[in-house]
Structure 1
Amino acid sequence: MNLAGWDEVTQGTVLTSFEGDATGIANKKAEERTYSDFNSYTASVASWRVQKPVFNRDICIDCQNCWVWCPDSSILSRDKQMLGIDYDHCKGCEVCVEVCPTNPKSLLMFNEHADLEESLAAWPEKKKKEKK
């Protein structure tokens, strides 16, 4: 197979995360899935990430949106409960933050070198709904 480099892929090309049939992929654990060569699950991307998502367990409702939408299966979840983030494979794309429905969000982006405790201490308060 002749693979195109990142700068040779035609704009608009769909790069799938998995090899072959992805039917039932949501029911498989990350380590049981067959990943495509285009997926960062096969190699660490931690060295070039600038921002990282930080997870706040106290706010999370375990809806699994982040797990479903993460393009690199970097969300660690077992028995429908969010456990954390696999930072070796998270590229900091912020998809998990965008799909999080909680108020405030249970995932927020912080500087790559931010301390966990400092990040959690800086978490915003719940936004109140404005009356019309």
Structure 2
Amino acid sequence: MSLEVSPNALWGILYVAVIVSLLLVVLLLTYLAINRSRRSVYKLIEKKLTSLEKRMDDLLKVPEEVENVFYQIENWVHSKSDQIELKFSGDIRIDPGGIISVEVGGKRYHKYVGGLRGVTVKRKGENSFLLSRSYSP
């Protein structure tokens, strides 16, 4: 007993096998391309987030000299003295709402301090400021 298969049937089976294998190759290549592009997108997003994080850190970083000025003014506001002299290489302004604006190196830093009503800022010298108030706390 022999099983005879016609040559046309063999060619048909071979034809279907080739088409199925080509479809599998195309699907595999598509999957790999999508996966590669996804990884590159993830890397790009990670790179952008890292640079944004660094820029935010740079923007939020307040120089020690400015922090020192804020600290001295806050301590003076709660003290009994009527004036304080600050040596500082930038510019100091006090807005009516109690916001201290300190400019150094072309950048301006702001901080709210309560109790600054009636406080005036006078420049005494190139790097010296006199803060005085018209009433006692």
Q: Normalising to structure 1: TM-score of the pair?
A: 0.24
Query: Hey, which of these two has a bigger chunk of helix by percent?
Result: 2
Please report the TM-score for the alignment, with normalisation by the length of structure 2: 0.23
Higher radius of gyration, 1 or 2: 2
